[in-house]
Amino acid sequence: MLLVLQLLCIFFVALRSEAARGGSQEKVRALLDNGWKLVGPKHAYKLTLDEVNFSRGRQICQSWGGDIAVEGIRTSPNIRRKVGRHLYRGPEWIGLWVGITDTDVEGSFKWLDGKPALNSDLPWSPNEPSHSTGEDCIEIWGAERDFTLNDVSCNALRYGLCEKLVYDD
């Protein structure tokens, strides 16, 4: 009897915690059924099916109810590695679009939500950013380069790293 009561308490605490987080098991299950992967405490991620330019990648992510990855990448230092390891199985040198650009002012990077991208947010690959002409978008490189960042032309073809908020605080 005591074990049953303990299990019921654990169950109700879990339900209350789930409700407090603003999510539901059905919502999470629907995301997973549609190819999203939970990585980290609040966000789910999915790659575009094809390599696309930055603008097209963003359109696809938005059509799926998300956007090119920003918040989880910015707030969780190890999320780049986790996302890369859980989602990406392609050649090491092909990158994933993330939501940082310097299209307004060369060398002044911003997240897609308009917040400045601070150096602490940007773990660059060696000799990056190179600031070559027209390299205004950012990709995450694969494991071979420790999931670091590179600036590249927004017209290059990469997989879009889509992000969707699953749980609000």
Determine the pLDDT at residue 112.
93
pLDDT band for position 19 (cuts 50, 70, 90): very low
Distances (CA, A) of 31 to 35, 100, 109: 7, 25, 31
Task: State mean pLDDT over 62-70.
Answer: 94
**Domains, in order of start, for the chain:** 1-33 (no CATH), 36-165 (3.10.100.10)
- Alpha carbon distance 148, 15 (integer Å): 38
Q: Is 116 helix (H, G, I), strand (E, B) or coil?
A: strand
Average pLDDT for the chain? 78
Residues in the chain: 169
What's the CA gap between 92 and 139, in Å, rounded? 12
State the pLDDT at residue 154: 96
pTM for this predicted structure:
0.78
